Amino acid sequence: AKSQQRNGHFYFSRSMGIEIRERVRMMHALRKGFLANELFVVYQPQIDLVTRRPTGAEALLRWQTSDGILISPDRFIPIAEYSGLIIEIGEWVLRGACHELVRLRAAGYLDLTMSINVSQVQFRHPLFPVMLCAALEDSKAPPEFIELEITESMAMEEPDQLIEMLAQIKQTGVSIAIDDFGTGFSSLSYLQRLQVDRLKIDRAFVTEITGSARGSSIAEMVIQLGRNLGLSVVAEGVEDERQAAVLQALGCPMAQGFLFARPLTAAALHEWLANDGL
Ligand code: C2E
Ligand code: CA
Ligand code: CA
Ligand code: CA
């Protein structure tokens, strides 16, 4: 234990070096993979908890390397953010999702919304509103059916800057959702000042919902908050009927999760919708 302690610093810096090298390696692989069309977007349906009909879909990024390995966005999005590549990749996702919405509408699904995750690195970019406008114009996607998801952690930083950015973005006609809601500590008065339209209850709170009486308290609070502020609410990560039943009883209007559908390729989404979804 003594020698470990003596060498603690050495081990620490060595492992840091490996971590940085690994990150740089992955950064290059991601850039190459992006150019080689190894990235694709899947769509997870969102449903109305009462009617169980689809209301929209969330676009989720995937990376399958040439050797067939699927890398989780939780692993490569931070690398994309760190390298700045997220600006290009994010624009590509946004454009792809807008086009997919247009295709869904052409197939007759005129009520479906398309939710798109936006990284804080993208969102903070001064040209983000310009890029958004261009993507909407080029794709002819109706902005009122497009929703951008930003995380609660992002919503908590630099309030004035965010309020200003949201105001600009809202002018394009798109909606804003706060993702992973309940994991941060944004104050209610601050939330009221933000021009957001929807709250997404984080999966962690949906998982707890059927455990104890206290387990459902955060989900309950978010649903109530949504009702009081006139915001739409979606519960994410719903995996079983018991969770769906509790959420419905609590008055949660919408849900998303493996119980209803996994994230689907564009072709599989069309098939799922054609087969009446559920
Ligand atoms: P998120 O935005 O919170 O997305 C929800 C995640 O939960 C997705 O993981 C989805 O596949 C997963 N999920 C949905 N239903 C269930 C369920 O019933 N059970 C369980 N266990 N999981 C469920 P995924 O696709 O791996 O994405 C992980 C995260 O990566 C996302 O979390 C989001 O933060 C980020 N991400 C994904 N695509 C994009 C993107 O295009 N841009 C940005 N900036 N971030 C993205
Ligand atoms: Ca999301
Ligand atoms: Ca989420
Ligand atoms: Ca998440």
**Alpha carbon of 66 to ligand 4 centroid (Å):** 26
Tokens of 69: 């390995």
- Which residue minimizes the CA distance to atom 32 of ligand 1? 74
Tokens of 28: 């290059």
Query: Which ligand 1 atom is at minimum distance from the Cα of 93?
Result: 41
Its sign, for the CA torsion 210, 214, 215, 221, is positive
Among 214, 158, 205, residue whose Cα is nearest residue 183 = 205
Q: What is the ipTM of this complex?
A: 0.98
Question: How far is Cα 278 from Cα 259, in angstroms, rounded to an integer?
Answer: 10
The CA-atom distances, in angstroms, between 195 and each of 144, 154, 161 are: 14, 14, 13
pTM of the predicted model over 0.90: yes
* 60 pLDDT above the threshold of 90: yes
The three-class DSSP label of residue 253 is coil
The strand pairing partners of 182, in sequence order, are none
- Which residue minimizes the CA distance to atom 4 of ligand 1? 60
- Per-residue pLDDT tens over the stretch 245-260: 999 999 999 999 999 9
CB 86 within 8 A of CB 119: yes
> What pLDDT does residue 15 have?
62
Query: Which ligand 1 atom is at minimum distance from the Cα of 42?
Result: 25
CB 194 within 8 A of CB 163: yes
- Per-residue pLDDT tens over the stretch 157-209: 777 888 889 999 999 999 999 998 887 766 777 788 888 999 999 999 999 99
CB 116 within 8 A of CB 76: no
Q: Residues near ligand 1 with C-beta < 6 Å?
A: 44, 60-61, 72-74, 77, 90, 93, 117-119, 179-180, 203, 236-239, 256-258, 263
- Per-residue pLDDT tens over the stretch 62-82: 999 999 999 999 999 999 999
Query: Which ligand 1 atom is at minimum distance from the Cα of 122?
Result: 44
